[in-house]
Structure 1
Amino acid sequence: MDERTGPRVARWLRDQHHDVVSVYEDARGLDDADVLAMAVREDRILITNDTDFGERVFRARQPHRGVVLLRLADERSLSKVAALKRLLAHHAADLSGSFVVVGEASIRIVRP
């Protein structure tokens, strides 16, 4: 999970029994290329609200194991958790290797 997603979201995911590495907690200041490379190395899906990862995946063609981009008007932790609850309830099996854009009322999944 990238730095901007925040520690509350990381705690919620851990409470749901997900194995989470939070850049905010463990590697603050890491640049985006290194965050994505770390996620690939550790075979992790990256959760972010930073659109730069879309550029890295689609234009620069950087490898990834899955990216969840939270595109929310309300970026408070409660909104992020609500969006992730909805995503995991309906699309958990679709995340690996996909680029997923989650909005308040939509989920778009792009598979390689």
Structure 2
Amino acid sequence: MDFVADESLDFRIIRSLRQHGHQVFAIVEESPSIDDASVLEVAVSRKSILITEDKDFGELTFRLKKTHFGILLLKLSGLEITEKIDLVLSVVKNQHQALFNSFAVLDQNRLRIKTGKK
């Protein structure tokens, strides 16, 4: 599965996704400091799911109706990095089809998915 990782994403999560066979285009490596709209454009051009810890992507997709192929917003503050990695890997493995064309929010208690391309 292909992902674009926003600059806000902890690089240890990116590394773990790669170690588990996923292709991850990391904004921090390729285009650091670009704005959120440009990050979303990169994800769309790559037809990839965007993984972020930045809630501003909700505004871009819902209020401004920007196109996307899926966004996974992580709200995992307060958890140890190993717990964050385990949660992300579990969601990617078990919910990968549901993530496409959806806006998903992962917190420590659940995954909420709003389907439909925006």
Whether contact under 8 Å (2:68, 2:101) holds in the other structure is: yes
Task: Give the structure with the higher percent strand.
Answer: 2
1:36 equivalent in structure 2: 40
Q: Distance in 2 between matches of 1:53 and 1:34?
A: 11
Work out which of the residue numbers 81, 89, 93 in structure 1 matches 2:93.
Answer: 89
1:80 CA displacement: 2.7
CA contact (8 A) 1:40 1:65 kept: yes
- State the AA in 1 paired with 2:90: R
Separation (CA, whole Å) in 2 of partners of 1:6 and 1:73: 11
Give 1:67's aligned residue.
71
- Looking at structure 2, the residues matched to 86 and 27 of structure 1 have their Cα atoms a distance apart, in angstroms, of 28
Cα distance change of structure 1 residues 11 and 110 upon mapping to structure 2, 3 Å threshold: same
Which of the two has greater helix per residue? Answer: 1
Q: Tell me the TM-score normalized by structure 1.
A: 0.92
The alignment status of 1:98 with 2:106, answered yes or no, reads no
Flag as ranges the 4+ runs of structure 1 deviating above 4 A.
none
Q: Which of the residues 30, 46, 49 maps onto 1:45? A: 49
Once the two structures are TM-superposed, the CA of residue 85 in structure 1 deviates from its matched residue by: 2.0
**TM-score, normalisation: structure 2:** 0.88
Equivalenced residue count is 112
Query: Distance in 2 between the 1:71 and 1:58 partners?
Result: 18
- Cα root mean square deviation, aligned: 1.3
Q: Find the residue that maps to 1:92 and give its secondary structure.
A: helix
| 1:4 counterpart residue number | 8
Change (3 A) 1:4 1:47: same
Structure 1 regions of 5+ residues with no counterpart? none
Instruction: Name structure 2 gaps, 5 residues minimum.
Output: none
1:48-100 alpha-carbon deviations (Å, 9 max, x no partner): 01000011001110000100000112265434312202212321121111111
How has the CA–CA distance of structure 1 residues 71 and 30 changed in structure 2, closer, same or farther, with 3 Å as cutoff? same
3-state SS in 1 of match to 2:73? strand
Taking structure 1 as reference, are residues 6 and 27 closer, same or farther at Cα in structure 2, changes over 3 Å only?
farther
